[in-house]
Structure 1
Amino acid sequence: MTDADLVETVELPLTVHGLETRGVSAWFGERKVLDRVSLVMPAGEVTALIGPSGCGKSTYLRILNRMHEMVRGAGLAGQVLLAGEDVYAPGRLPAKVRRRIGMVFQRPNPFPAMSVYDNVAAGLKLAGIKVGKAERDDLVETSLQQAGLWAEVRDRLRSPGGALSGGQQQRLCIARSLAVSPDVLLMDEPCSALDPTSTRRVEETIELLRGRLTIVIVTHNMQQAQRVSQSCAFFLASHDTPGRIVEHGSTEDLFERPRDQRTADYVAGRFG
């Protein structure tokens, strides 16, 4: 299988929407964990969020598709804008927001006893999308193609999703998210539990999706951030200061020409 085999099946939408936060702060009870985070995540690009553990990156990611509010005692201030519209505006249903802003988690979470086919189709069911069998078949195939998995599983669509390798399971989860045609895909350390070969496959999938989607990825792997992203934001926190962005910009500038010494130290591996 070559990249060309996958690329020819991916249709780009007419419009790709970017994501932006303005002055986002977050709390868990009385504890403030993020402080006035403003960031533009350009349409059709991959934005990497980097920084030490505990600086609020994953919390920020979950704020972007309204998963933060599912935690008891969680609080939020500021705006999250998709295509210029606040996803937290009164009357906005969280389920509809999550359909447009999908999430892939740190560890693959397919439904293990459910077939590969049904795992992808479950994305439609969870989003409340009803389609006929022919259209569902097409959506499953297209989603698996876009996730770079079709050539590996097309002869075992009825096999359990849990029988796939770890890397294949992660791409199956990506396919499930893609089935509902989201505008944005959030990825929370999607390769941290994978071996190098599986990591490469997931990174290839990210590259194939770039341009079709806006992607935001949390990673502790500096080399991965450089490989997959076009823009980057460095988060930092301390024991008495909530997480905030120290520096953001193009990935090349942040790694090669950082403006803040703390950024330079972190990307060089001198702390964190």
Structure 2
Amino acid sequence: MLPVVPAAATPPPPPPRELATLEARGITAWFGDHQVLDRVSLTMPAGVITSLIGPSGCGKSTFLRILNRMHELVPSASLAGEVLLDGDDIYRADRPLTDARKSIGMVFQKPNPFPAMSIYDNVIAGLRLTGISADRDRKDELVQTSLQRAGLWNEVKDRLRSPGGGLSGGQQQRLCIARSLAVMPRVLLMDEPCSALDPTSTRVIEETMLELAHEVTIVIVTHNMQQAQRVSTQCAFFLASQGTPGAIVEYGDTEAMFSEPIDARTFDYVNGRFG
């Protein structure tokens, strides 16, 4: 049995890295013959939380999945355009898929830990999936630092060998965040991470995001307008109307978009007049 790392033996924080800028250029996407996005371009600045808002069905989650090459897992899916991580196209033909997954992590709407796998093994599961090798001491260190960064360590440090499925919903979501952080991504994508959580768990996740923004670039899809205002610095409003594919209507500083939007459709949406 692996020893539990005592609280006093706090491992050193990960070494500082240059924060990453993620840029989408002219992203157009289809599922079969159905076009879901039309020429979407957006810069997601380094060390900033960018929120993607808009009604259901306007392509926000599809756009998010394109940002780390998950879109191509759907057999009928196709796309055009570029996704640049610090100027390097993640879809470049000679760039391995695992490179994108290591650099750009994903947290889904519904917490998805491996339920029969221990908390410890859940955290390091991403290492195997992305081909990262680590010895026992390194794994122990990664488990602790990742759980600390996800705001979960103090709650689970004495039961790391308990099943991840035994945690509460909010704890499971933070476990999934820890699993993503263990591979040291430079960008973290979050698809409505709080939609299934109670207000207390939501607050903890939001606090975690704000702390992580100093270490990783975060992009979050949310239908909660108050959440977008609380956590994001930049906001992009997506809309698909009358059968047209999704596109960005307006983007910029979050507070400006909510207080003085340029487009009347943005004003109507953030004020609850549709969507």
Same fold (TM over 0.5): yes
> 2:206 matched to 1:207?
no
How high is the TM-score relative to the length of structure 1? Answer: 0.95
1:12 Cα deviation (Å)? 6.2
Structure 2 Cα separation of the partners of residues 13 and 264 of structure 1:
39
Name the residue aligned to 1:87. Answer: 90
> 2:85 matched to 1:77?
no
1:124 Cα deviation (Å)? 1.2
Name the residue aligned to 2:110. Answer: 107
> 2:17 matched to 1:14?
yes
> 2:172 matched to 1:164?
no
Name the residue aligned to 1:61. Answer: 64
SS state of the match for residue 144, structure 2?
A: helix
Equivalences for residues 181-200 of structure 1 within 5 A: 181-200=184-203
How high is the TM-score relative to the length of structure 2? Answer: 0.94
Tell me the alpha carbon deviations over residues 3-56 of structure 1, each in whole angstroms, 9 at most, x when there is no partner. xxxxx9755623010100111100111111100001000101100000000000
Structure 1 Cα separation of the partners of residues 166 and 257 of structure 2:
40
Name the residue aligned to 1:234. Answer: 237
SS state of the match for residue 182, structure 1?
A: coil
Assess if the C-alpha contact under 8 Å between 1:9 and 1:145 holds in 2.
no
1:172 Cα deviation (Å)? 0.1
Name the residue aligned to 1:219. Answer: 222
Name the residue aligned to 1:97. Answer: 100
Structure 2 Cα separation of the partners of residues 62 and 14 of structure 1:
24
Tell me the alpha carbon deviations over residues 80-110 of structure 1, each in whole angstroms, 9 at most, x when there is no partner. 0001111111111112211110000000000
SS state of the match for residue 172, structure 1?
A: helix
1:72 Cα deviation (Å)? 1.2
Tell me the alpha carbon deviations over residues 187-235 of structure 1, each in whole angstroms, 9 at most, x when there is no partner. 0000000011111111111011012000000000000000010000000
Q: Which 5+ residue runs of structure 2 have no aligned equivalent?
A: 1-10
> 2:148 matched to 1:139?
no
Alignment partner for residue 41 of structure 1, among 38, 41, 44? 44
Name the residue aligned to 2:153. Answer: 150
1:128 Cα deviation (Å)? 1.0
Aligned CA RMSD, in angstroms, stands at 1.2
Q: Compared with structure 1, are the counterparts of its residues 223 and 157 closer, same or farther at alpha carbon in structure 2 (3 Å cutoff)?
A: same
Return the letter of the residue paired with 1:40.
Answer: T
User: Which deviates more from structure 2 when the two are superposed, residues 71-80 or residues 49-58?
Assistant: 71-80
Assess if the C-alpha contact under 8 Å between 1:101 and 1:186 holds in 2.
yes
SS state of the match for residue 143, structure 1?
A: helix
Name the residue aligned to 1:3. Answer: none
Tell me the alpha carbon deviations over residues 166-186 of structure 1, each in whole angstroms, 9 at most, x when there is no partner. 000000000000000001000
Tell me the alpha carbon deviations over residues 45-87 of structure 1, each in whole angstroms, 9 at most, x when there is no partner. 1000000000000000000000001111111011100011111
**Percent of aligned positions with the same letter in both sequences?**
69
SS state of the match for residue 25, structure 1?
A: strand
Return the letter of the residue paired with 2:200.
Answer: T
